[in-house]
Amino acid sequence: MFKDQQTVNLFPCPVWLFDIEPDSVEIINRNAMAAIEQMRPPQKEGQPIHPWQSRNDLQTLPEFEELSNVIKSTTGEVLKQRGIKDYPFQITGCWINIRTPGNDHPAHTHPNNYVSGCYYVNTPEGGNAIVFRDPKMETNIIAPPLLREDEENSRTIMVPLQSGMMAMFPSWLPHFVPPNQSNIERISIAFNIMFSSFGETIGKPLWTFDENP
Ligand SMILES: [Fe+2]
């Protein structure tokens, strides 16, 4: 009944996954575990072990220099793939997340940044996924039964992770961490990226005032 058909996927919603070089993984993980040992408050005896989030400026500390360099490299690749001009960018925040057994992280975005990401220090089986949610909320209004679930028709997509991986995504893309179903702590380091001097450069009006129209 029809001669030809094409499907054009407009406005794709990218998630970039990186396998980090083993040498860097070794340095980052060793320094991260030492920092956790030093920064995390001691557990009180007899109390349940709580999830923990570190200070949020780790990119300023020398022990996270290797991670900062890796983030700058992966961000450069992301901006290249997006076809963005060579604008300077900076890491605006960087922090460790520890999800204890049974603990989750509800859906959220990372406001006021262009791209965000997470490096995975330790993702035990059962605590080794991140879930992204379709940001087009209108698509949730009608939800017919599906023959199959895939990236084209699902409202949430679970991405499996491994230790030593990094995931990056647009900062506006909602995501959450399902409950850690292992009995081992899930350790990751999240970060945000924004263009440096945004107000002085990209934020300027996109049109020129004509005094003599
Ligand atoms: Fe996040």
**142 belongs to a structural domain:** no
Q: What distance in angstroms lies between residue 60's CA and the mean position of ligand 1's atoms?
A: 20
Task: Give the pLDDT score at 175.
Answer: 98
As a whole number of Å, the CA-based R_g of the chain is 20
Q: What distance in angstroms lies between residue 48's CA and the mean position of ligand 1's atoms?
A: 24
**42 belongs to a structural domain:** no
Q: What distance in angstroms lies between residue 168's CA and the mean position of ligand 1's atoms?
A: 10
Task: Give the pLDDT score at 213.
Answer: 83
Task: Give the pLDDT score at 49.
Answer: 84
Task: Give the pLDDT score at 86.
Answer: 84
Q: What distance in angstroms lies between residue 99's CA and the mean position of ligand 1's atoms?
A: 13
Instruction: Chunk the chain into consecutive blocks of 10 residues (it has 213) and report each block's average pLDDT, rounded to whole numbers.
Output: 95 95 98 97 84 97 98 97 93 97 96 98 97 88 91 92 98 97 97 95 90 88
CA–CA distance, 112 with 198 (Å, rounded to integer): 11
Report the SS3 class of residue 112.
coil
Angle at 79 between CA 161 and CA 33, to 5 degrees: 40
Task: Give the pLDDT score at 23.
Answer: 98
Rounded to two decimals, what is the model's pTM? 0.93
| Count of C-beta atoms within a 10 Å radius of residue 56 | 14
Q: Considering its fold, how many domains does the chain have in total?
A: 1
**146 belongs to a structural domain:** no
Task: Give the pLDDT score at 201.
Answer: 87
Query: At a CB cut-off of 8 Å and minimum separation 6, what does 95 contact?
Result: 53, 54, 55, 56, 58, 189, 190, 191
**11 belongs to a structural domain:** no
Report the SS3 class of residue 167.
strand
